[in-house]
């Protein structure tokens, strides 16, 4: 299975909004509303930020939102804060009864 | 609060078998709403799902690793394990265990997402 495609890096200034894309195929992202997003700070374990495309777990800021159109899912972070600087990974369930991750996107807060 | 803790050798020789265990505390390992899984991250690289196991023993594995992976679960000890055979340097990574939430009769195929993670353990494959 091929990894989902994410931009290697994105950046934004405090207070701005950024969007990270995650492109898959009709066998994963396009086929199911089971896309999730994870935030990972250096040296730490990933943290679930979004699941089922757009649902936030309890305790996750409402500045984080998710959406999907066709084979591409997106994570939007509004009101950027310094603490949002991290690596972000998308993941999707696939028609092969497996999970696949994206390659990761490094978010830099300028 | 549910916590997961990985344990196992930090160094494995090439061609040998990597064995890790994840201990579950603060919650049940036998719930029908969860699978239990392993994910790894090579140095400086992204996440890779290895596989997941249900308390009944049902498993799903990454197709690219399936021939070398075996997962097992012990409900009495509240732990689950990973064995990866014939390791090479490419298997050097931080290995995470995680809880996979899902729902419905066909649980793994319905709303799967990794909601609780262990801190990870570093495994180096080297002679």
Average pLDDT, chain B: 96
Sign of CA dihedral A107, B2, B5, B6: negative
Q: What is the pLDDT of residue B125?
A: 98
Q: Does B74 touch chain A if contact means CB atoms closer than 8 Å? A: no
Residue B18: pLDDT band by 50, 70, 90 thresholds? very high
Strands of the B18-25 sheet, one edge to the other: B3-7, B18-25, B79-84, B69-74
Q: Please tell me which residue of chain B has the smallest CA distance to A57.
A: B115
Q: What is the pLDDT of residue B51?
A: 97
Q: Which pLDDT tens digit goes with each residue over B77-127? A: 999 999 999 999 999 999 999 999 988 778 888 889 999 999 999 999 999
- CA triple B62-B33-B49, angle to 5 deg: 20
Q: Which pLDDT tens digit goes with each residue over B19-45? A: 999 999 999 999 889 999 999 999 999
Contact B46 A101 (CB under 8 A): yes
Q: Which pLDDT tens digit goes with each residue over A21-72? A: 999 999 999 999 999 999 999 999 999 999 999 999 999 999 999 999 999 9
Q: In the numeric block, which tokens belong to residue A99?
A: 């999970």
Q: How many CB atoms lie within 10 A of CB A26?
A: 10
Q: Percent of chain B scored above 90 by pLDDT? A: 91
Residue A2: pLDDT band by 50, 70, 90 thresholds? confident
Q: Which pLDDT tens digit goes with each residue over A69-108? A: 999 999 999 999 999 999 999 999 999 999 999 999 999 9
| Distance in angstroms (rounded) separating the CA atoms of residues B85 and B64 | 13
A97: left (phi over 0), alpha (psi -120 to 50) or beta: left
Identify from B42, B49, B96, B112 which residue to disrupt to test chain A contact, counting A C-beta atoms within 10 A and taking the largest count: B112
Contact A57 B115 (CB under 8 A): yes
Q: Does A47 touch chain B if contact means CB atoms closer than 8 Å? A: yes
Tokens 């200034």: give the residue: A13
Contact B47 A97 (CB under 8 A): no
């Amino acid at each position: 299975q091929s990894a989902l495609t994410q931009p290697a890096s994105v950046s934004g200034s405090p207070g701005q909004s950024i969007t990270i894309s995650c492109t898959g195929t009709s066998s994963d992202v396009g086929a199911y509303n089971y896309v999730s997003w994870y935030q990972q700070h250096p040296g730490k374990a990933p943290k679930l930020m979004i699941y089922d495309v757009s649902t936030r777990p309890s305790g996750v800021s409402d500045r984080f939102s998710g959406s999907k159109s066709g084979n591409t899912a997106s994570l939007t972070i509004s009101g950027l804060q310094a603490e949002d600087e991290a690596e972000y990974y998308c993941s999707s369930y696939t028609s092969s009864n497996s999970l696949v991750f994206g390659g990761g996107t490094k978010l830099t807060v300028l | 609060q549910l916590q997961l803790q990985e344990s196992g050798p930090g160094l494995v020789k090439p061609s040998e078998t990597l064995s890790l265990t994840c201990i579950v505390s603060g919650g049940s390992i036998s719930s029908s709403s969860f699978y239990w899984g392993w994910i790894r991250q090579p140095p400086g690289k992204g996440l890779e799902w290895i596989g997941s196991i249900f308390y009944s023993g049902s498993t799903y594995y990454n197709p690219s690793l399936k021939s070398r992976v075996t997962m097992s679960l012990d409900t009495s000890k509240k732990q689950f394990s990973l064995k990866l055979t014939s390791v090479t340097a490419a298997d050097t990574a931080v290995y995470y265990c995680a809880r996979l939430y899902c729902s419905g009769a066909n649980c793994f195929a319905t709303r799967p997402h990794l909601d609780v993670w262990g801190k990870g353990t570093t495994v180096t494959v080297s002679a």
